[in-house]
Each structure stands twice: as structure tokens, then as C-alpha cells.
């Protein structure tokens, strides 16, 4: 039975802040950051946007592409590290807003930046197991970087949603693989506003030692080599890491370029590799194979191999495309506005 993506959609907020604007405030050298992180700007959610609103928009785009009734969806899993409520699900609000309640299973997931693919993984597995006809997996975040921290240059906002099913599949999931260990490279304790990270430890022992072995495992399991793929997407904590991990696995810049959004989007955490995937689906051709590996601190990677079907051409333009949202009409804001939007200014308390 072919199970895979039957509908997909992404959402990108319109506001952007440039690396220079942040660097100016902290007396940092912008060119160094731009080169080091390989990114020039990032998306910023406006005060009325959060994981729930972006998930609803992305899910509605996915529904439009799938052509199915929302009430046929059997589960919604939203992966995020910035769910608006600490206690109270995001999933029920999204489910109600898209008209998928009440016969639905909901769970909010959290695994740093991997929570989105986790939702996709579980959604797909339930369809494969025959528990339901359709399940929705969403990755979305409005992540925060502490003021002045390196993360502030990259922590961005965005969402991607995927409806998994077995009829009129746009991209069949041929293989999955996962790779996890306990690696404390990045975390946020309960009641803390900003996450902490372990500096350069987030690189080799964390990101690379999970993304690369997960990718290798996936290639081995599927008996494929990088040449068998038209497209490859990796988690993008910055612009540099995914390209390096991809090269280590044997993928070319050409294969990775379309899904490589970080240079103009930043790191959308749980939305990162899912949004890269949606950008690839926007242009992929029937028969194309897509290689995808996510990463979440703490640490783990989910790997997927998708084969694009003939159905794809009918739906690519049915809803706003990912790069089109990313590139059209950005509104650039200054650091003061950014600080206000992101709740970084101490206000008078009621």
C-alpha cells in the first residue's frame, strides 16, 4: 500500500529582520555573522501570529491541495517548541478552525527542532497501520533567541503542514529511518523564556553526528545512493550546517538548493526541514525522489524518502507556494519593532 503526502502547505509571516539590524544593536560584526551562519535575514511573526495561527494557515493550504473534507482527517499532530499555551493543546484549536473536530485524535509534540517531522512520522504511521484514512502532521515555530545570543540571528517563524493518506498520494513515503541519543546541545528549562545552547558542541557531536548517520542509515536501508535523488532537504539551524551535512552524505548543492531556505528565512525550528520539503514539492516532477533528514536537539533525526507521483502537477499551484510567500512583499522591521513584536520589552504590568 502506497502511503504518503496527499496535501501540503506552508505559511511564512511577512515580517523580516536583517542580520545587520540585530548586529548593530549588540555591537557585533554583521559580515562575520552572515558568513558564519550563511544567512542574511530571518522571518519574524507579528504579535498576532503564533504556532496556532500559522498552523491553521498551512493546514488550510494543505487541505486545498488535498481536496479532501477536513472531517475525514483522523489525527492532528503539531510539533513545536513554541506552543502558545504551556498547558492546553494547540492541536484542538487548529482542528476546530479547519473543521476537523470532533472525531479526531490530537497531540502536541515537542522535540526541539525535530517535533515537526515527528508529527509527520506518527501521522503517516497511523495511516499505514490502517487506523485512519488521513492524518495531519504540522511543524511550526515562533522561536526565540536570547537578546544578543547567536541564536537571535537565526530563530525565525514559519509552518508547514502535511496531510498523509493513501489515495491520490502526491509523494509516496518509501522509507523512513530514525537516529536518537541523549546529547544535551540545546534546551529550555520549564519557566525559562529563552533557550540555552552548548556553543560549538551543537555542531559535530550533536547536529552532524545525528543528521549524517541518520542519512546513512536511510540510504542503506533503502539501498539507494545520493544519485538516485533529485532533491535533498536537511534541517537548517543556519545556512551552513545543512549544506555541510548534505555534502558529507554525497549530495550536491544543486540537489539541496530548492529546499535550502535558511539564508532568507532563518531557522524555523520544527518548521525548518518540513518547509524545505514543501518548497521542493512546489517544483518537483512526477518520479522525482526526495531525501529528507530533520534534526532536533537533545538529540535526534528523522529521515524520509519520498517518491513524487503524477498527482503533484495538479496541486502545486492550488495554494500559495513556499518560496513565493518567502520572496513576495517582505516587510523589513528595525530592532525596536522586533523587540516589541517578540515581547522583549519589559512593559508596565496590570
Partner 1 sequence: MIGSPRSWREKPQRYRYEAGKCSGCSKIFFPPRLVCDACGSKTFETQVLAQTGVVETFTIIEVAPSGFTDEAPYAVGIIKLDDGVKVTAQIADCKPEELKLGDKVRLEFRKVTEDGASGILHYGYKFVLA
Q: Which residues are catalytic?
A: 81, 113, 235
Could you tell me which residues come within 8 angstroms of residue 225 by beta carbon, excluding any fewer than 6 positions away?
219, 250
What gap in Å lies between CA 79 and CA 324, rounded to an integer?
24
Q: Which of 31, 84, 148, 184 binds partner 1 (CB under 8 A)?
A: 84
Which residues face 43 on adjacent strands?
A: 16
Instruction: Report in angstroms how near the CB of residue 14 gets to partner 1 at its nearest.
Output: 5
Instruction: Report in angstroms how near the CB of residue 122 gets to partner 1 at its nearest.
Output: 24
Pairing verdict, β 15-18 and 41-44: antiparallel
Q: Which of 31, 85, 181, 225 binds partner 1 (CB under 8 A)?
A: 85
Site for partner 1 in 293-322 (CB under 8 A): none
Q: Which of 128, 196, 221, 340 binds partner 1 (CB under 8 A)?
A: 340
What gap in Å lies between CA 173 and CA 184, rounded to an integer?
30
- DSSP alpha helix (H) spans, the chain: 19-26, 30-37, 51-66, 91-98, 115-128, 209-222, 240-249, 253-256, 262-265, 272-281, 312-315, 322-327, 335-341
**34-53 footprint of partner 1 as x/- string (CB under 8 A):** ------------xxxxx-xx
Residue 296 CB: number of other CB atoms within 10 A?
27
Instruction: Report in angstroms how near the CB of residue 76 gets to partner 1 at its nearest.
Output: 14
Residue with Cβ nearer partner 1 (46 or 224): 46
Angle at 321 between CA 319 and CA 324, to 5 degrees: 130
Site for partner 1 in 52-71 (CB under 8 A): 52-53, 56-57, 60
Instruction: Report in angstroms how near the CB of residue 16 gets to partner 1 at its nearest.
Output: 12
Query: Nearest 5°: phi and psi at 190?
Result: -50, 140
Stretch that binds partner 1, among 89-97, 147-155, 247-255, 296-304 (CB under 8 A): 89-97
Site for partner 1 in 131-150 (CB under 8 A): none
Instruction: Report in angstroms how near the CB of residue 251 gets to partner 1 at its nearest.
Output: 36
Query: Nearest 5°: phi and psi at 184?
Result: -80, 80
Residue with Cβ nearer partner 1 (99 or 287): 99
* Interface with partner 1, residue 275, by CB under 8 A: no
Instruction: Report in angstroms how near the CB of residue 329 gets to partner 1 at its nearest.
Output: 8
Instruction: Report in angstroms how near the CB of residue 175 gets to partner 1 at its nearest.
Output: 35
Stretch that binds partner 1, among 91-99, 163-171, 206-214, 258-266 (CB under 8 A): 91-99
Find, among 241, 175, 187, 239, the residue nearest to 209 by Cα. Answer: 241
Stretch that binds partner 1, among 90-98, 129-137, 207-215, 277-285 (CB under 8 A): 90-98
What gap in Å lies between CA 201 and CA 151, rounded to an integer?
14
Residue with Cβ nearer partner 1 (182 or 349): 349
Site for partner 1 in 205-264 (CB under 8 A): none
Residue with Cβ nearer partner 1 (54 or 262): 54
Q: How far is CA 97 from the centre of its chain?
A: 21
**16-35 footprint of partner 1 as x/- string (CB under 8 A):** --------------------
Residue with Cβ nearer partner 1 (190 or 350): 350
Find, among 219, 194, 195, 204, the residue nearest to 289 by Cα. Answer: 219
Stretch that binds partner 1, among 20-28, 95-103, 153-161, 163-171 (CB under 8 A): 95-103
Q: Is 322 helix (H, G, I), strand (E, B) or coil?
A: helix
Could you tell me which residues come within 8 angstroms of residue 341 by beta carbon, excluding any fewer than 6 positions away?
15, 44, 45, 46, 47, 333
The three grid cell numbers given for residue 145, joined into one nine-digit string: 533567541
Pairing verdict, β 134-142 and 73-79: parallel
Which residues are at the interface with partner 1 (CB under 8 A)? 14-15, 46-50, 52-53, 56-57, 60, 84-85, 93, 96-97, 99, 331, 340, 347, 349-350
Amino acid at each position: 500500500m502506497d502511503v504518503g503526502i496527499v496535501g501540503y502547505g506552508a505559511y511564512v509571516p511577512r515580517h523580516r529582520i536583517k542580520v545587520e539590524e540585530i548586529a548593530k544593536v549588540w555591537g557585533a560584526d554583521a559580515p562575520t555573522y552572515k558568513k558564519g551562519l550563511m544567512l542574511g535575514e530571518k522571518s519574524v511573526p507579528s504579535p498576532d501570529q503564533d504556532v496556532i495561527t500559522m498552523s491553521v494557515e498551512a493546514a488550510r493550504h494543505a487541505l486545498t491541495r488535498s481536496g479532501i473534507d477536513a472531517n475525514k482527517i483522523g489525527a492532528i499532530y503539531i510539533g513545536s517548541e513554541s506552543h502558545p499555551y504551556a498547558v492546553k493543546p494547540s492541536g484542538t484549536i487548529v482542528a476546530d478552525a479547519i473543521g476537523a473536530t470532533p472525531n479526531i485524535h490530537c497531540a502536541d509534540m515537542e522535540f526541539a527542532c525535530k517535533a515537526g517531522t515527528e508529527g509527520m512520522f506518527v501521522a503517516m504511521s497511523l495511516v499505514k497501520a490502517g487506523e485512519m484514512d488521513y492524518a495531519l502532521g504540522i511543524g511550526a515555530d515562533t522561536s526565540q533567541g536570547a537578546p544578543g545570543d547567536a541564536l537571535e540571528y537565526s530563530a525565525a517563524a514559519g509552518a508547514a503542514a502535511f496531510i498523509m493518506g493513501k489515495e491520490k498520494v502526491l509523494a509516496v513515503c518509501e522509507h523512513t529511518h530514525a537516529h536518537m541519543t541523549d546529547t544535551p546541545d540545546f534546551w529550555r528549562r520549564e519557566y525559562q523564556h529563552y533557550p540555552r545552547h552548548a556553543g560549538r558542541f551543537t555542531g559535530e557531536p550533536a547536529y552532524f553526528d545525528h543528521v549524517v548517520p541518520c542519512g546513512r542509515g536511510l540510504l542503506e536501508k533503502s539501498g539507494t545512493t545520493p544519485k538516485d535523488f533529485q532533491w535533498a532537504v536537511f534541517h537548517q539551524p543556519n545556512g551552513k550546517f545543512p549544506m555541510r551535512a548534505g555534502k558529507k552524505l554525497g549530495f550536491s548543492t544543486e540537489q539541496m538548493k530548492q529546499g535550502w531556505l535558511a539564508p532568507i528565512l532563518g531557522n524555523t525550528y520544527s518548521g525548518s526541514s518540513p518547509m524545505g520539503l514543501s518548497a521542493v514539492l512546489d517544483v518537483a516532477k512526477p518520479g522525482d525522489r526526495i531525501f529528507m533528514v530533520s534534526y532536533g536537539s537533545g538529540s535526534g533525526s528523522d529521515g524520509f524518502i519520498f517518491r513524487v507521483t503524477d498527482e503533484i502537477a495538479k496541486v502545486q499551484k492550488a495554494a500559495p507556494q513556499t518560496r513565493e510567500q518567502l520572496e513576495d512583499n517582505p516587510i523589513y522591521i528595525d530592532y525596536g519593532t522586533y523587540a516589541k513584536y517578540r515581547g522583549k520589552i519589559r512593559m508596565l504590568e496590570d
